[in-house]
Amino acid sequence: MEIRGLEESLPEAPLSGSDTVYVESDHVSIGYRSKRTGIYKPACSDLNFNIKRGEFVVIIGSSGCGKTTFLEAVAGLVPVTRGEIRIGGHAIKGPGKERSLVFQSPSLFPWRNVRDNVLFSLQAQRNLTPETKARAEDLIALVGLKDVMESYPHELSGGMKQRVNLARALVTQPQLLLLDEPFGALDAQTREMMQHELVRIWQAADLGEARNAIFITHDVEEAVFLADRILVFSKSPASLAADIRVELPRPRLPAHKRSPEFLKFQDLVLSYLYQGDSNPRESAEDSR
């Protein structure tokens, strides 16, 4: 089989392109206090890093390490215990219009068709105008669902539902898109296609200049494929184990996943992910 080198693909500017700091995680610790025993258990410990304008950041860590907790804190759904998360210089006090969250399970309204599920985000923000409605329909076309605009969730495949979910998150033109293992429940083939699609949609969507994404996964290949930058979280409680810039040209194609350069980044991430484990490969299997 011929493996094409990455250098053969067309060079394209990375998704990141600015020096302005957008998200600041300033010595953030987050934990939960048991209602029953009152005992405090840390989930994230002293997470300290900045994310620049325009960066597509992937956070990777093993199951239960505290990824969702951190993302929900950025979304304004979980309070931080110590430190501060700032967006555009402002400390987070709760959810905000400039952020959209995409969960693993699409949670669409079963009684609304595709179009109305997407329009719901606009209605919730009291921003349903002819202009935003047209934007919603453009987005539905962009995610490849033009032909099923009138269909209901039960008529859609898992991948299609996740496309609706994505359109619904993007229609409010968020400056910061937060994705929590959005493709985790999809079969391998659909997942691969959706990774590719996400980058395409991300680049083509009408979001203005400022666009940031924080994407969570426990899949190393997915992380390297998508990221401008990978933040590796340690085992629970999550601290920052590594901060890796993925210097692979774009567009990245699924075929590139077998190239030596790609595998090099994958090995690098793996080495930090399972730091201290006696048998990293075995642990990698365990965490799936």
Ligand X SMILES: Nc1ncnc2c1ncn2[C@@H]1O[C@H](COP(=O)(O)OP(=O)(O)O)[C@@H](O)[C@H]1O
The residues that touch ligand X, with contacts defined as CB under 6 A, are 32, 43, 61, 63-69, 236
Stretch touching Mg ion by CB under 5 A, among 31-39, 62-70, 85-93, 115-123: 62-70
In the chain, where do the E strands start and end? 21-33, 40-52, 56-60, 82-87, 90-91, 99-102, 176-180, 212-217, 229-233, 240-245
Please state the closest distance from residue 232 (CB atom) to ligand X, in A: 12
Residue 116: which residues within 8 A CB-CB, separation 6 or more? Answer: 109
Of the pair 53, 67, the CB lying nearest ligand X is at 67
Question: Which of 194, 179, 186, 181 lies closest to 158, judged by CA?
Answer: 186
Asked whether position 217 contacts Mg ion by CB under 5 A, the answer is no
3-class DSSP state of 17 = coil
State the minimum distance, in angstroms, from the CB of residue 41 to ligand X: 7
Contact status, residue 267 vs residue 11, Cβ threshold 8 Å: no
Amino acid in the structure at residue 105:
S
**Of the ranges 60-68, 117-125, 185-193, 275-283, which one interacts with Mg ion (CB under 5 A)?**
60-68
Q: Which is nearer to ligand X, 64 or 83 (CB)?
A: 64
Q: Which is nearer to Mg ion, 68 or 165 (CB)?
A: 68
6 or 60: CB nearest Mg ion: 60
In whole angstroms, the minimum distance from the beta carbon of 214 to ligand X comes to: 13
Closest CA to 237 of 114, 90, 80, 122: 80
What is the Cα–Cα distance from 216 to 181, expressed in whole angstroms? 5
**Residue 236 binds which entry of Mg ion, ligand X, none, with Cβ cut-offs from 5 to 8 Å by kind?**
ligand X
Q: How far is the CB of 87 from Mg ion (least distance, A)?
A: 21
**Beta partners for 101?**
178
Give the residue with the Cβ less far from ligand X, 32 or 109.
32
Q: How far apart are CA 43 and CA 11, in angstroms?
A: 40
Q: Which of residues 16, 62, 68, 234 is near Mg ion by CB under 5 A?
A: 68
- Residue matched to tokens 């990141």: 16
Q: Which is nearer to Mg ion, 203 or 287 (CB)?
A: 287
The verdict on 62 binding Mg ion (CB under 5 A) reads no
Which of these ranges, 45-53, 66-74, 79-87, 252-260, lies near Mg ion under the rule CB under 5 A? 66-74
- Contact residues for Mg ion (CB under 5 A)? 68
